[in-house]
């Protein structure tokens, strides 16, 4: 008994929706970055699923580029969070205006 691609796409949709809700609702910058990572992983799951169904390796190769972008996002994001955390004890999305100067 095999799991069909519809189940993987449904799981990716649920993961993406949870990530999008997390970005819109939460104010903590670290939680927002984790939700963005969840959304990127949902997109990766969709790409791999379609690549597997169509028998094309193109989707799987794009996943590597998405992973590189996600790693760069983590590096830049954590740098911003550390810069904010040095000025204040709390790191909320409202504190990003302090980075202007």
Domain ranges in the chain are 5-100
- Confidence bin at 38 (pLDDT 50/70/90): very high
For the whole model, what pTM was predicted? 0.81
1 has pLDDT over 80: no
Fold of 5-100: Helix Hairpins (1.10.287)
* Cα→Cα distances 23→6, 78, 84, 89, Å: 26, 16, 19, 21
Residue 92 near residue 28 (C-beta atoms within 8 A): yes
Residue 41 near residue 12 (C-beta atoms within 8 A): no
pLDDT at 91: 66
Our CA angle for 87, 91, 93, nearest 5°, is 115
List pLDDT tens digits, range 78-90: 887 787 778 776 6
């Amino acid at each position: 008994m095999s799991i069909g691609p519809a189940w993987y796409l449904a799981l990716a949709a649920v993961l993406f929706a949870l990530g999008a809700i997390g970005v819109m609702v939460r104010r903590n910058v670290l939680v927002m970055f984790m939700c963005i990572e969840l959304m990127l992983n949902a997109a990766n799951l969709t790409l791999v699923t379609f690549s597997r169904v169509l028998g094309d390796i193109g989707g799987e190769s794009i996943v590597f580029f998405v992973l590189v972008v996600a790693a760069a996002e983590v590096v830049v994001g954590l740098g911003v969070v550390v810069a904010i955390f040095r000025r204040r004890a709390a790191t909320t999305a409202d504190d990003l205006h302090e980075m202007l100067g």
